[in-house]
């Protein structure tokens, strides 16, 4: 008896595992170490700046100032919660109300459009980038006020953020396009189901639509997974602050 080939188990970040499932892509663990990959992303000018941050003297600060770890952790939790709530409660992802339920005219009349969802994804990406970027900067200021060693770490983080930002933005910019492809695939599958070709467009406007609800949940899951990736440098700075 012939068995279908099974996927190779992948232990990478949740975002990559999720995208692999949604796009039905075969993904394996990277053969290169993180350091090797980063070396390919850093230009020689970035390497010089990084070397200067590692070997130079940090700017004079009021070193030894007590770190308000509780306030820093509370601020991180606040930003994370605000972004997660923005994703969960965005009106674009609200479940379509059943036929006959009270609906706003705009909600009843607007067709389902992947471009609208793509624009919302881009908007929420910008919200994440801005909020987490400002949070990361504030944590560096707090860290730099502790010890010379922590000040140097803050300098290194600032250099790495500037050096890796273009590559990060380029990679994350692909996510809205991937989600648009996923949207079109789910809609096409629903239209090809027996007897559903006409019902799909009707229910998409006026009644619960399983394929659209599936897409919205998938899109929210990808956004939340992306948020966790963006928070990793923040978690690193918090961990350093806990040891200061």
Judged against a pLDDT cut of 50, whether residue 155 lies above it is answered with yes
User: For 10-19, what is each residue's pLDDT tens digit?
Assistant: 556 789 889 9
Closest by Cα among 114, 121, 105, 83 to 187: 114
25-46 mean pLDDT = 74
CA 136-32-37 angle, 5° bins? 40
Closest CA to 140 of 77, 70, 67, 82: 67
- Which pLDDT band holds residue 45 (cuts at 50, 70, 90)? confident
Of 237, 235, 230, 234, nearest to 13 (Cα)? Answer: 230
pLDDT (average), residues 169-197: 85
Predicted confidence (pLDDT) at residue 99 exceeds the cutoff of 50: no
Quote the tokens at residue 97.
């109300």
DSSP 100: T
**Strands of 193-239, DSSP E:** none
Query: Domain locations in the chain?
Result: 65-96+117-244
pTM of this prediction?
A: 0.80
| Rounded Cα–Cα distance for residues 16 and 27 (Å) | 8
CA distance 190 to 200: 7
* pLDDT tens figures, 216-229: 899 999 999 999 99
Average of per-residue pLDDT across 42-48: 81
Q: What are the helix and strand counts (H, E) for the chain?
A: 10, 0
């Amino acid at each position: 008896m012939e068995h279908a080939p099974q996927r190779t188990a992948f232990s990478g970040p949740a975002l990559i595992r999720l995208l692999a499932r949604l796009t039905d892509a075969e993904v394996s663990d990277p053969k290169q170490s993180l350091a090797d990959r980063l070396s390919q992303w850093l230009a020689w000018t970035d390497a010089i700046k990084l070397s200067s941050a590692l070997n130079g003297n940090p700017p004079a600060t009021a070193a030894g100032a007590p770190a308000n770890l509780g306030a820093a952790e509370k601020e991180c939790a606040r930003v994370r919660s605000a972004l997660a709530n923005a994703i969960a409660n965005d009106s674009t992802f609200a479940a379509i109300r059943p036929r006959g339920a009270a609906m706003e005219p705009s909600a009843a009349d607007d067709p389902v459009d992947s471009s609208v969802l793509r624009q919302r994804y881009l908007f929420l990406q910008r919200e994440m980038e801005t909020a987490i970027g400002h949070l990361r900067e504030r944590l560096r200021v707090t860290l730099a006020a502790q010890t010379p060693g922590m000040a140097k770490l803050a300098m290194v983080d600032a250099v790495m953020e500037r050096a890796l930002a273009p590559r990060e933005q380029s990679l994350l910019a692909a996510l809205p396009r991937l989600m648009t492809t996923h949207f079109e695939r789910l809609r096409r599958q629903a239209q090809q189901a027996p007897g559903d070709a006409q019902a799909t467009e009707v229910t998409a406007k006026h009644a619960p639509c399983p394929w659209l609800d599936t897409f919205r949940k998938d899109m929210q899951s990808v956004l939340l997974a992306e948020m966790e990736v963006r928070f990793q440098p923040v978690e690193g700075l918090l961990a350093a602050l806990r040891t200061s």
